[in-house]
Structure 1
Amino acid sequence: MTGLTFLIPIALGMGALGLAVFFWAMKHGQFEDLDGAAQRILIDEDEGDDV
């Protein structure tokens, strides 16, 4: 039982920290261009280098 008195506040603190990081990322535009990253992976940058 005494372990829970330490683990529950730690779990709540980590959850609050994760939520704060998520809101920070939303505020700084980390999720603005989701399709751009998916399209960029398909672009071949080495089109002129035939080996």
Structure 2
Amino acid sequence: MSIGTWILLITMVCFSGSALLIWYAAKTSGQFDDVEGVKYRMLEEESAVDAPIDAKR
């Protein structure tokens, strides 16, 4: 195999390994625990978008 093939293989292994590490870190920190609750909390909370722009008038 040529040097370009080895560089490509090493790069692919590095990208795959870093993607797995990022996924594992997100999984262990609990980022995937409640994916549906965010959209319901968004609807329940009063947001700054609903507030009038000129509150001083």
- The answer for unaligned runs of 5 or more in structure 2 is 53-57
Whether 1:28 and 2:29 are equivalent positions in the alignment is yes
Query: Are 1:17 and 2:5 counterparts?
Result: no
What is the letter of the counterpart of residue 17 of structure 1?
A: S
Q: Return 5+ residue gaps in structure 1 as ranges.
A: none
What TM-score do the two structures reach when normalised by structure 1?
Answer: 0.71
Higher RCO (CA-CA < 8 Å; seq separation 6+): 1
Distance in 2, Cα, partners of 1:6 & 1:43: 51
Give the match's secondary structure for 1:33.
Answer: coil
The alignment of Structure 1 onto Structure 2 pairs a total of residues equal to: 49
- TM-score with structure 2 length normalisation? 0.65
Cα distance per residue 1:9-40 (max 9 Å; x no partner): 11111100000110000000000111112324
3-state SS of the aligned residue for 2:36? Answer: helix
Structure of larger gyration radius:
2
